[in-house]
């Protein structure tokens, strides 16, 4: 779906999904209920098809939702891992007091500011790529490797800082990769086509009872719209009302000195 749709408030996003499903149900009801002869002949067939069609739609929803939840969990874990690595590096930098510590903290602070102000916006619009090298983190890693430890404690701190910076770099790569993921257009088309098929089947199965058809189609349209709304609201991990924020990174940002 488009960035514009994902950027809508939850209320308006719900209006779009529910309104679209109710519109489809209304059109199907109007079309199916007109030719009485076709309705009567198809009633027995439609009743037998209703259960498998509904099951297929449910499976479509489950598999699509599983992808969305998995992507979101991985994105959340990547942001947390990056923040944890940077925080550990800030703590270990105290083993090199003076200019080395201040320089490392400055680089980490600059990286977090860059990520929160620029990278997050790019990830939201799926324009961030691995071609962009995180200059501050790369410089911090090079600076750490160039340090000359004067004690065993500093040697251990240097190794740990190197490992934590590499972990932060790996986590950054992971969140950028996940920001490119979304439910493909073909999957969305499959969900809506299957929902339409179920609505048609419901209308045919209740062809001799208009009230029952309206109620059954309305209930299914409501349930289908709710499922599609949840998928749409969480589809893009870094865009929308429920998007993942850079708060964990901002929380570990070292203070200016």
How many percent of the chain have pLDDT more than 90?
Answer: 67
Tell me the pLDDT band of 167, cut-offs 50, 70 and 90: very high
Q: What is the mean pLDDT of residues 71-81?
A: 95
pLDDT at 95 over 70: yes
Q: What is the mean pLDDT of the chain?
A: 89
Tell me the pLDDT band of 3, cut-offs 50, 70 and 90: confident
pTM, 2 dp? 0.85
According to the model, what pLDDT value does residue 206 have? Answer: 78
According to the model, what pLDDT value does residue 37 have? Answer: 47
Residues 6+ apart with CB under 8 A from 6: 13, 232, 235, 236, 239, 240
């Amino acid at each position: 779906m488009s960035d514009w749709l994902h950027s809508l408030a939850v209320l308006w996003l719900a209006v779009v999904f529910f309104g679209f499903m109710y519109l489809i149900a209304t059109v199907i009801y109007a079309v199916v209920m007109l030719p009485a002869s076709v309705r009567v002949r198809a009633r027995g067939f439609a009743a037998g098809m209703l259960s498998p069609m509904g099951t297929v739609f449910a499976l479509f929803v489950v598999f699509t939702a599983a992808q969305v939840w998995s992507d979101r969990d991985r994105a959340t874990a990547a942001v947390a891992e990056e923040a944890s690595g940077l925080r550990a590096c800030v703590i270990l930098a105290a083993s090199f007091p003076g200019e080395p510590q201040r320089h490392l903290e400055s680089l980490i602070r600059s990286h977090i500011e860059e990520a929160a102000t620029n990278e997050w916006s790019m990830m939201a619009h799926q324009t961030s790529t691995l071609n962009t090298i995180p200059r501050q983190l790369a410089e911090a890693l090079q600076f750490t490797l160039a340090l000359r430890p004067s004690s065993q404690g500093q040697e251990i701190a240097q190794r740990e800082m190197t490992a934590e910076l590499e972990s932060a770099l790996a986590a950054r790569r992971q969140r950028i990769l996940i920001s490119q993921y979304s439910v493909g257009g073909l999957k969305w088309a499959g969900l809506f086509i299957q929902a339409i098929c179920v609505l048609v089947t419901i209308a045919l199965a209740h062809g001799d009872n208009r009230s029952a058809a309206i109620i059954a189609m309305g209930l299914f349209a409501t349930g289908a719209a709710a499922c599609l709304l949840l998928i749409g609201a969480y589809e893009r991990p870094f865009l929308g009302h429920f998007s993942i924020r850079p708060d964990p990174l901002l929380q570990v940002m070292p203070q200016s000195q």
